[in-house]
Amino acid sequence: MSEVMISRRGGGGSGWSSETKLVTEYITFNRNWIVPNGVKDNQFSVRIFGAGCTNGYGSGWMANEVYTNLQTGQAINIIIGKINPDYNNIITSQSTGGTSSFGTYIYANGGDGLHGGAGGGDSRSYGGIGYQFGGGAGGRSGGSGGPWGGGGGAYGYQVSGNGGHGGTYGGGGGGSFYGGWGGNGGTYGGGGGAGFEVLSSSQWRGYGGRGGTYGGNGGYVHTSTTTFPSTDLYVVPTNGTNTITWTNVAKDDITGEYLRGNGVALSSLSSYFSANNLSGGGGGYGGCGGLGAVSYTNYRWASQGGGGGGGYGSNGGNATYSGSELWSGGGGGYGGDGGKGGGGYGKVSKGSSTGGGGGGYYCPAVYTYGAGVGIWENGILVARFADGGAFTWYQANTRCYPKQGICIIQYYT
């Protein structure tokens, strides 16, 4: 992608003629931008993102506004947030992402440590807070999601951790191992499932997260007895809202599909020791709750952790157990499914399934870093900006480079 790319598309929305063209400018370097003439209704949509944090996982923040008071020929100084370019020290140094700004009108901060627009995390760190989008997953606890995001799940090997809470449209993350509590869902989200651990003489248990107005509660084990198996020891997760046939719900801008579904909690007691049925997440507003998982050794039955709660048209992530890697599921976001991290804004904005990253703005999380913004052409992701980054210790020789910010300006001519 060039440093300034202008895309023109025909459009007849809002009663405008078929000759009306949507112009999109992607600005990726500092410059004085000159307000063009001939713009329909003198209306400009501006969306900016700060840079991602270096070696801290948090992605850049987003800010957006629509302006009708800009003057033709006016010069507006656009600053694009930069990243720390010293990659040789990326393993040991941490640098907050640079701030992006559109003149004196709006600005967007960069990611700071684990936290940012979307959160990140790994098994050695706490999950980062996603202040706008998906929360990060991490050791001991998951980070909470922003208004559009789900909470991150908790890593659960030999430690206890609570799931992160979902934002308004998000589900809660699952709790882990020694009685970690599931995170609560937002208004449209389901609660995350709880973790538990049972030994021969003792037991640790957490409680499932609460669902919001349109979401169900997460599942959990509720007794202090150590006698297994027994189905009466388990509180099943509950369904959310079934929107599968509704047309009065939001549509996704990238895929064109409705953000809807049956909102069920998938956990089942049909096979009690199945890895698919313990501590499931509650259903959300059209989103299904994620499945819990159970690990087995010859001296204990232990639920690794709970599944994530469903969100607004998004599914909670499934808890996973593989060797020593024990993860709870992240909550679904606004369309974006949870993985280990919470889902974000848009169907493509899934939480990472390979690490603790939360989904961003039309941008999927990969590995441990929080996702920024994705640029799409004909359904293909062609570029991404504002991602957090780091060298991840358990992914040898894999460097997740942070991404700089961007300013996106749209108008009709």
Q: How far, in Å, CA of 387 to CA of 349, rounded?
A: 13
**Which residue in 341, 372, 283 sits closest to 150, CA to CA?**
341
Higher pLDDT residue, 54 or 277?
A: 54
Mean pLDDT of 8-16: 47
Mean pLDDT of 318-337: 89
Q: How many CB atoms lie within 10 A of CB 25?
A: 18
**Which residue in 277, 181, 203, 199 sits closest to 237, CA to CA?**
277
β-pair partners for 410: 24, 45
Give, for 123, the enclosing helix (H) or strand (E). Answer: none
SS3 call for 88: helix
Residue 299: what pLDDT? 46
β-strands 138-139, 154-155: how paired? parallel
Residue 223: what pLDDT? 58
pLDDT over 70 (residue 302): no
pLDDT digits (tens, 9 = 90+) for 85-99: 655 555 556 789 999
Q: Name the residue ranges covered by the structural domains of the chain.
A: 4-111+393-412, 128-369
Average pLDDT, whole number, for the chain?
Answer: 85
Residue 196: what pLDDT? 78
pLDDT over 60 (residue 18): no
Is 72 exposed, middle or buried (CB count within 10 Å of its CB: 0-12, 13-18, 19+)? Answer: exposed
Residue 410: what pLDDT? 97
Please give the backbone phi and psi of residue 14, each rounded to the nearest 5 degrees, phi first: 60, 25
Higher pLDDT residue, 301 or 264?
A: 264
High-pLDDT (> 70) share of the chain, %: 80
Residue 395: what pLDDT? 45
Residue 275: what pLDDT? 39
Residue 154: half-sphere exposure toward Cβ, Cα within 13 Å: 33
pLDDT band at 335 (very low <50, low <70, confident <90, very high): very high
Q: How far, in Å, CA of 259 to CA of 273, rounded?
A: 33
pLDDT over 50 (residue 242): yes
pTM as predicted: 0.90
DSSP state of 297: E
**Which residue in 411, 407, 413 sits closest to 68, CA to CA?**
411
pLDDT over 90 (residue 247): yes
Cis preceding linkage at 229, omega within 30? yes
Cis preceding linkage at 237, omega within 30? no
Residue 141: what pLDDT? 92
Residue 258: what pLDDT? 97
> Contact 148/403 with Cβ under 8 angstroms?
no
